[in-house]
């Protein structure tokens, strides 16, 4: 999980502060020493750490903090604000050209994830911004690069433009003409990478930039390479000039040094983050939300957005009414498991909920095999049995077990889980849950959680 080790160390440092009624200068200095060590161990650049700790220390030593009734909370608030500033302050959106097509040029070292994340970005822009994307194969050197782009494009139903091993500049120019002719308003140029930055690579990228002026140049960097990613970002920015960064494999980087350093070193914002291997696992990078996650405060906004994306609005209202009226069936139960699975691993979701120890749920997820077994059992029931599981006697269970290729023990386990779910929803709907079920500002509710 991203930032796991940093979150642990910062939480330990702040726990000591919370144990003190009033803070002295020595208390803050000790806390800042631990913050400095935590950031350095997270592979954040030395200069970035030095400047960050200096700013936080100066703000924390102000009279309004030391004289506050809750000084520890004030210090944590300051750290939160400075972390947010360090990562860019606010979400930086992609610039959309007033005259289509918008041309996004992806650059980066080989193995950073340009091809896969270019396809992810294309699908994201189509789904959430109603764009008609076109992927352009400008990497003519890496074996199977074109085939890889075509494969991910086919999986996402995004068209791919390629001209084999022609000159990349000519490919880019022809792709723009093709886009104008076919109504594609969002082009993503998947350019070549190298194992290291060399003159040949830079010259080719400069030539494409000159002949096909991109709306934005986005650098794709692998978060797991830490300071190497930051150094690559700095070098590309000096040589080509970048407009933003896509940070990949953020879910696999327990330290988080790249995310905290890239903005400070290059002055360019992180616009998107790759958060998994699946082709829908890319999301806009929100510095404020990420700062909250780092400090163990959760990220409720992203959690709600994931739920809203996973759940159909009409079904959400129907399910809300069923829950309130206590008419939650086995069919509904299965649908909820499937939709929850589409939101990602349980440990990832837990990390967004304030007060939940995500580490305790590390790697937790809904098992596909279990989901398949649940589906088989439920589909082997009659509609009447699904709506009235209390009628399931011994003979009915044996029939269902035979029809689903499972055992009576499996059926009893499923019914027990379902009863627990019903009990929980009854308790929740007695309190303030109905308001949540109805949604937030007219949007879909969080009942599926």
Residues 160-200: tens digit of each pLDDT: 999 998 999 999 999 999 999 999 999 999 999 887 888 88
On whether residue 74 sits in a domain, the answer given is yes
Closest by CA to 159, choosing from 174, 175, 139, is 175
Neighbours of 372 (CB within 10 A): 10
Question: Cα separation of 367 and 34, whole Å?
Answer: 39
Place of tokens 């030593």: 61
Alpha helices in 136-167 (DSSP H): 145-156
Model pTM greater than 0.75? no
pLDDT confidence tier of residue 305, bands split at 50, 70 and 90: low
CATH number of 151's domain = 3.40.50.300
Token match 């080509």: residue? 240
Are 327 and 203 in a shared domain? Answer: no
Amino acid 371: pLDDT: 73
CATH number, domain of 411, equals: 1.10.260.30
Please give the Cα distance from 262 to 229 (Å, whole number): 8
Angle, alpha carbons 149-154-156 (nearest 5°): 100
Shared domain for 279 and 317, answered yes or no, is no
DSSP state of 132: -
Q: Which of 86, 117, 144 is the last residue of a domain?
A: 86
pLDDT, tens digit (0-9, with 9 covering 90-100), for 85-140: 888 888 889 999 999 999 999 999 888 889 999 999 999 999 999 999 999 999 99
Q: What average pLDDT does the structure give for the chain?
A: 79
Range of the domain at 79: 4-86
20 and 79 in a single domain? The answer is yes
Helix (H, G, I), strand (E, B) or coil at 241: coil
Helix (H) / strand (E) element for 38: namely helix 25-41
- Predicted confidence (pLDDT) at residue 205 exceeds the cutoff of 90: yes
Question: Which of residues 260, 276, 296 is at a domain's end?
Answer: 296
Which of 241, 270, 296 is the last residue in one of the domains?
296
The reply to whether 283 and 316 lie within a common domain is: no
Q: Is the pLDDT of residue 311 over 60?
A: no
Average pLDDT over residues 10-29: 76
Question: Residue 325 domain-assigned?
Answer: yes
More confident residue, 78 or 19: 78
**Residue 97 counted as domain residue:** no
Reply yes or no on whether the pLDDT at 59 is more than 80.
yes
Instruction: Count how many domains the chain has.
Output: 3
Indicate whether 447 belongs to any domain.
no
Q: Is residue 262 part of a domain?
A: yes
Are 319 and 403 within one domain?
A: yes
**Of residues 277, 439, 287, the one with CA closest to residue 345:** 277
């Amino acid at each position: 999980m991203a930032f796991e080790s940093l979150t642990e160390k910062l939480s330990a440092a702040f726990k000591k502060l919370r144990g003190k009624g009033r803070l002295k200068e020595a208390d803050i200095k000790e806390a800042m020493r631990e913050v400095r060590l935590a950031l350095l161990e997270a592979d954040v650049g030395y200069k970035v750490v030095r400047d960050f700790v200096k700013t936080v220390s100066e703000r924390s030593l102000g009279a309004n903090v030391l004289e506050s009734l809750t000084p520890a909370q004030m210090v944590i608030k300051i750290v939160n604000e400075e972390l947010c500033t360090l990562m860019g302050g606010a979400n930086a959106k992609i610039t959309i050209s007033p005259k289509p097509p918008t041309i996004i040029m992806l650059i980066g070292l080989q193995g950073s994830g340009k091809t896969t994340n270019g396809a992810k970005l294309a699908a994201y822009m189509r789904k959430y911004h109603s764009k008609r994307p076109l992927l352009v194969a400008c990497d003519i050197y890496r074996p199977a690069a074109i085939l890889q782009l075509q494969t991910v494009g086919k999986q996402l139903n995004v068209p791919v433009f390629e001209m084999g091993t022609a000159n990349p500049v000519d490919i880019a120019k022809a792709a723009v003409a093709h886009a104008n002719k076919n109504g594609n308003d969002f082009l993503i140029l998947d350019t070549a990478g190298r194992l290291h930055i060399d003159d040949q690579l830079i010259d080719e990228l400069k030539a494409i930039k000159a002949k096909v002026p991109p709306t934005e140049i986005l650098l794709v960097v692998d978060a797991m390479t830490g300071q190497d990613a930051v150094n690559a970002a700095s070098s590309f920015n000096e040589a080509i000039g970048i407009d933003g960064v896509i940070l990949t494999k953020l879910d696999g980087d327990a330290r988080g040094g790249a995310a905290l350093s890239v903005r400070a070193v290059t002055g360019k914002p992180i616009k998107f983050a790759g958060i998994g291997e699946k082709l829908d696992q890319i999301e806009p990078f929100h510095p404020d939300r990420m700062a909250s996650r780092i400090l163990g405060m959760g990220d409720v906004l992203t959690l709600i957005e994931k739920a809203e994306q996973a759940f159909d609005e009409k079904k959400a209202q129907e399910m809300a009414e069923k829950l309130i009226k206590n008419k939650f069936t086995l069919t509904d139960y299965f649908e909820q498991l499937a939709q929850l699975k589409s939101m990602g691993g349980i440990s990832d979701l837990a990390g967004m909920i304030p007060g939940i120890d995500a580490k305790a749920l590390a790697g937790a997820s809904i098992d596909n095999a279990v989901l398949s077994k649940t589906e088989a059992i439920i589909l082997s029931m009659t509609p009447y049995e699904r709506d009235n599981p209390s009628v399931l006697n011994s003979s009915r269970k044996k029939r269902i077990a035979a029809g689903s290729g499972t055992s009576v023990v499996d059926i009893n386990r499923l019914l027990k889980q379902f009863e627990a779910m019903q009990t929980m929803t009854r308790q929740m709907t007695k309190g303030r849950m109905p308001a949540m079920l109805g949604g937030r500002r007219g949007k879909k509710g969080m009942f599926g959680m």
